[in-house]
Structure 1
Amino acid sequence: MRIQFYFLLFIASITISCQNEKDDYIPTDQVILSNVFGSKIDLNNLDSYQNNDIPSYIRFSNQGNAIENDKATLGRILFYDTKLSTNNSISCASCHQQEHAFSDTAIASTGVNGMTGRHSMRLVNVGFQPSTNFFWNERVNSLENQVTQPIKDHAEMGFSGENGAPSFDDLLIKLSATDYYQVLFKHIYGDIAVTEERLQECLSQFVLSIQSFDSRYDDGLLATGNPGPGFPNYNMSENRGKFLFITTPENGGAGCVSCHVPPEFAIKNNIHNNGVIATIADPNVFDHDNTRSPSLRDLENPEGFINGPLMHNGTFTTLLEMVEHYNSIDMTNQQLLDPLLFDSIGPNGPIGQQLQLTDNDKTALINFLKTLTGTDIYTNPKWSDPFAD
């Protein structure tokens, strides 16, 4: 009996040992995520996306669905995942880079089957504008609809279903077979189904969370409570530039405020052609009459380098070139120029804008625009690449 007892005890100890060893290799949801993202994604300690500080003076907040931390977290992963392209080489972040205020320094961005037709916009404060239309030509009416369009674009991320390319349904199948998406969709939605509506919801919430309200302009506005008076944290040139920006030409200013109203500095509704008409590929081809530009915030990074060429075709590579354009707009061959840019109507039609800014005025305007740059957007880990080492 004693021998039998010790034999059974030996068998039991082996069984328990094997079970413990097996348990060590049973991946939990968090282990699956940790294997891919390290400590960057923790289901029990998510980054905060829904409680960003929005100043009380911000007027527009077209954010659609309220941001939820878990959905924005999934949106962050989708945003940086190259699996969203047909050849696993391109992510949303390839064309919208955090270090450049979520834009691209190239005029046209590289896709899986070619180049983009227009320059990649900076994704700064996209939820804080008077309109809910997106893209340079305003072709979609919500951010939810916008975020999956580049994925379906044949040149950009390739899931177009064109010319033998995989379809968007193929992408859904691809993501459904990925273990970390099974974990995340189950955690958020209660099942592992990957649908376009869920991708749109999560991607748009992440993009909406990318906010920049920590510039020197914000500090000055908080100090004065009024955008008109000189800001105590500005030098003379910066305050001169602010005056020129917010004052109409009739009153000695440059009238920038007519299209880009502080404090959002987003473009107003129903603004049309600004005199930059060419496509990237051909300066003789007209593109386009409606313009939905990004906010003027974060045109440069904190080091003073421009975050990417300006306008839909990247035609300007410095702030001075942009100011020079608006200082003297030639009406020759211009189509559908926005009336706000007419100085007057002459015998032969509209006369292009002639602001007659001095060199000091141009410098002042540029110095003011530089004060619209924040810092947090460039370094905050919650907007960074979760796949990075």
Structure 2
Amino acid sequence: MKLSKILQLCAIVLLFSSCNDTEEDAYTPLPSTASYPAVEAEFGNSVDLNNLANYANQTIPSYITKDNSALNLISNKIATLGRVLFYDKKLSANNTVSCSTCHKQEVAFGDNTVASSGVNGTTGRHSMRLINTRFASESKFFWDERAANLEIQTTMPIKDHGEMGFSGLNGDLSFNDLIVKLSAVDYYKELFQFAFDSEEITETKIQIALAQFIRSIQSFDSKYDVGRASAPNDGAPFSNFTAQENQGKNLFLTPPQFNATGSRTAGGLGCAGCHRAPEFDIDPNSRNNGIIGTISGNGIDITNTRAPSLRDLVRVDGTTNGQMMHTGVITTLQAAIGHYGTINIAPGNTNLDPRLRPGGNGQQLNLTAAEVNAVIAFLRTLSGTDVYTNAKWSNPFN
């Protein structure tokens, strides 16, 4: 990790430890007599600082054990500020783009266009869904893991010339100009005082707040969660699943067996080798999945080794939450499974995950139609409903 990123992470930890609420304080609303005229004027009832939404103490199933929030524990105050920052177009140079432009609540905080629109063009990769980012072992961010953690990631799009335009390069304003801009906004004076006991705005405070809000976005109300809650482990049959859904779960969890040429002879699909139940987060040791194209169509990109959780990959009814993969080249679950069914090792791909090239050959899963349909049925059980409509994750400017 570069020294600058290490120092930035240290600053986040020190500021959080000195400014953040205690766990008890995080759940205690302020007295109803507190007044925040600028916040009330801008947001009305959608942001009520005297009656905070619950970000800090949400129910987490007992079988969920991964949690990467230890250095930045969620508080209701700071996550509330993070929500406003996430949706505020003032964070872009021309006031037209916010974080939510590329990460839309209605599509599981992803995007339903291949390349998301920025202030000076479009993104180089498809925008990743932001579901259950807290519940993952992988702490690095972006498809190519270029951000050491979520905190650092949150301001990188703001400082990108194409995305939000405060790069300080190519004639852009600098991030310091953004801080000056936000410091003049009355509702931010109240919100930063409320969250950090100081009106002063810094990049580290913005990172802490945005990361807390993003980590608060969780989805555990799926059919899978109902079944897992009463099952002794992931491999046991779920009583609320159909036979097809249980078959798909077994295929997802069970590793395949291959012959010398990389052709499956027995076992399942082994999806869980990289997408690990019950969080369905990506294994941090994963390499790329064989899709090495670019949105622009120029050259190859073998550095994409991260992926979002498979939760809410689609909606309960099977409707997709936008395109899949860093290029957006996959648009259906059938196509996604089909990709892994036949892995072709493209020239120049020196970073293909070894689990996809048994014996040095691209895997051939020899999938049947029944197996494909079963895995699709199972993947649909990973989708909930609350995350799409819950007001605490919605746009407060509406």
Instruction: Report the CA distance between 1:290 and its aligned residue.
Output: 4.3
**Which residue number in structure 2 is paired with residue 211 of structure 1?**
218
2:367 and 2:196 mapped to 1: Cα distance? 56
Contact 1:160 1:166 in 2 (8 A): yes
Give the alignment partner of residue 248 of structure 1, picking from 243, 249, 255. Answer: 255
Give the alignment partner of residue 43 of structure 1, picking from 33, 37, 49. Answer: 49
2:348 and 2:230 mapped to 1: Cα distance? 42
Instruction: Report the CA distance between 1:303 and its aligned residue.
Output: 3.9
Instruction: Report the CA distance between 1:343 and its aligned residue.
Output: 2.9
**Which residue number in structure 2 is paired with residue 300 of structure 1?**
314
Contact 1:275 1:334 in 2 (8 A): no
1:340-388 CA deviation, whole Å, 9 max, x = no partner? 00132xxxxx211100110110011111001000111111100000000
**Which residue number in structure 2 is paired with residue 146 of structure 1?**
153
Give the alignment partner of residue 129 of structure 1, picking from 126, 136, 142. Answer: 136
**Which residue number in structure 2 is paired with residue 273 of structure 1?**
288
2:282 and 2:275 mapped to 1: Cα distance? 5
1:229 and 1:334 mapped to 2: Cα distance? 41
Instruction: Report the CA distance between 1:41 and its aligned residue.
Output: 1.1
Give the TM-score, by structure 2 length: 0.87
**Which residue number in structure 1 is paired with residue 193 of structure 2?**
186
Give ranges in structure 2 of 5+ residues lacking alignment.
1-33, 258-265
**Which residue number in structure 2 is paired with residue 286 of structure 1?**
300
Contact 2:135 2:281 in 1 (8 A): yes
**Which residue number in structure 2 is paired with residue 364 of structure 1?**
374
Contact 2:316 2:381 in 1 (8 A): no
1:147-185 CA deviation, whole Å, 9 max, x = no partner? 000000100000011111111000000000001001111
Contact 2:341 2:365 in 1 (8 A): yes
Give the alignment partner of residue 32 of structure 1, picking from 29, 32, 38. Answer: 38
**Which residue number in structure 2 is paired with residue 74 of structure 1?**
81
Contact 2:66 2:136 in 1 (8 A): yes
Give the alignment partner of residue 333 of structure 1, picking from 335, 338, 347. Answer: 347
Contact 2:316 2:384 in 1 (8 A): yes
2:383 and 2:361 mapped to 1: Cα distance? 34
Secondary structure at the aligned position of 2:340 is classed as helix
Contact 1:30 1:42 in 2 (8 A): no
1:271 and 1:111 mapped to 2: Cα distance? 29
Structure 2 vs 1, CA of residues 213 and 373 (structure 1 numbering), >3 Å: closer, same or farther?
same
Segments of 4+ in structure 1 off by > 3 A?
none
Contact 1:343 1:354 in 2 (8 A): no
1:271-297 CA deviation, whole Å, 9 max, x = no partner? 112100011111x51112341100011
1:264 aligns with 2:279: yes
Backbone CA RMSD of aligned residues? 1.2
Contact 1:277 1:334 in 2 (8 A): no
Instruction: Report the CA distance between 1:29 and its aligned residue.
Output: 4.3
1:380 aligns with 2:390: yes
1:71 and 1:330 mapped to 2: Cα distance? 47
1:73 and 1:52 mapped to 2: Cα distance? 14
Instruction: Give the partner amino acid of 2:164.
Output: M
1:240 and 1:328 mapped to 2: Cα distance? 21
Give the alignment partner of residue 56 of structure 1, picking from 62, 77, 81. Answer: 62
**Which residue number in structure 1 is paired with residue 182 of structure 2?**
175
Secondary structure at the aligned position of 2:167 is classed as coil
Give ranges in structure 1 of 5+ residues lacking alignment.
1-27, 345-349
2:46 and 2:168 mapped to 1: Cα distance? 34
Contact 2:317 2:380 in 1 (8 A): no
Instruction: Report the CA distance between 1:188 and its aligned residue.
Output: 2.1
2:310 and 2:194 mapped to 1: Cα distance? 38
Instruction: Give the partner amino acid of 1:367.
Output: A
Instruction: Report the CA distance between 1:338 and its aligned residue.
Output: 1.1
Contact 1:217 1:371 in 2 (8 A): yes
Secondary structure at the aligned position of 2:364 is classed as coil
Instruction: Report the CA distance between 1:216 and its aligned residue.
Output: 0.7
Instruction: Report the CA distance between 1:66 and its aligned residue.
Output: 0.9
**Which residue number in structure 2 is paired with residue 4 of structure 1?**
none
Instruction: Give the partner amino acid of 2:347.
Output: N
1:248 and 1:187 mapped to 2: Cα distance? 51
Greater Cα shift, 104-113 or 215-224: 215-224
2:157 and 2:345 mapped to 1: Cα distance? 34
Instruction: Give the partner amino acid of 2:332.
Output: T
Instruction: Report the CA distance between 1:189 and its aligned residue.
Output: 2.1
1:316 aligns with 2:323: no
1:155 and 1:268 mapped to 2: Cα distance? 30
Instruction: Give the partner amino acid of 2:382.
Output: L
Contact 2:125 2:295 in 1 (8 A): yes
Instruction: Report the CA distance between 1:334 and its aligned residue.
Output: 5.5
Instruction: Report the CA distance between 1:187 and its aligned residue.
Output: 1.9
1:107 aligns with 2:114: yes
1:213 and 1:240 mapped to 2: Cα distance? 22
Give the TM-score, by structure 1 length: 0.89
Contact 1:271 1:290 in 2 (8 A): no
Instruction: Give the partner amino acid of 1:32.
Output: A
TM alignment of 1:2-13, pairs within 5 A: none
1:352 aligns with 2:362: yes
**Which residue number in structure 2 is paired with residue 155 of structure 1?**
162
